[in-house]
Copies of this chain bind each other. A is one copy, B any other.
C-alpha cells in the first residue's frame, strides 16, 4: 500500500501509474498533471486543460474512473458545481467550501478516523471531510 521510505513525496504521474499496474499513457499523465495544477477541477475543466493535447472527453471520463478505482483520485460532490476531483497524494485533509463564492480549499489538521467511533471490524480506506460555510472575503464583500 504505502510506498517504501525514500520515495519522493511527489511521485511523478508515471510512478503513480506504474505503482498500480496501470500503463503510463500520454493521456493519463496529462490528466494527473492537470489534476495537480487545478485546485479541484470538474470534468469539464479537466477536459479543457488537456483538450489541446488532443485528449477526448471520453478519455477524461474513463481515466477518472480508472484512477478513482485505483485510489489515485477522489470525487467530491459540490452543490451547484457538480462532481469535482482531486488527487489523493496529500496527507488526509478536509475541504473547506464557501457556499457564496464556490471556492473549495484544502484544510489541514483533520483528526484521524481512529478518533471517531468507527465500529470494530470496519476497515477505513479513506475519509472525506467537507466544511460548508461562508469565507471571510464573502462575508466582508458579498459577490456581485
Q: Could you list which residues of chain A lie within 8 angstroms of chain B, going by C-beta atoms?
A: 68, 75-77, 79, 83, 94, 96, 98-99, 107-111, 113, 115-136, 139
Contacts and interface: CB of A to CB of B under 8 A. Distances in A.
12 contacts: A96-B119, A99-B125, A113-B131, A118-B133, A121-B135, A122-B134, A123-B139, A124-B133, A126-B133, A127-B130, A128-B131, A129-B130
Given A75-B79, A77-B77, A77-B83, A116 B109 contact: yes
B132 A127 contact: yes
A126 B132 contact: yes
Contacts of A79: 68, 75
Nearest to A119: B136
A132 B128 contact: yes
Given A132-B124, A136-B122, A107 B96 contact: no
Given A77-B77, A129-B129, A136 B116 contact: no
Most buried by B among A68, A83, A118: A118
Contact of A134 (B75, B125, B134): B125
A133 B128 contact: no
Contacts of A125: 99, 132-134
A122 B129 CA distance: 16
Contacts of A99: 125
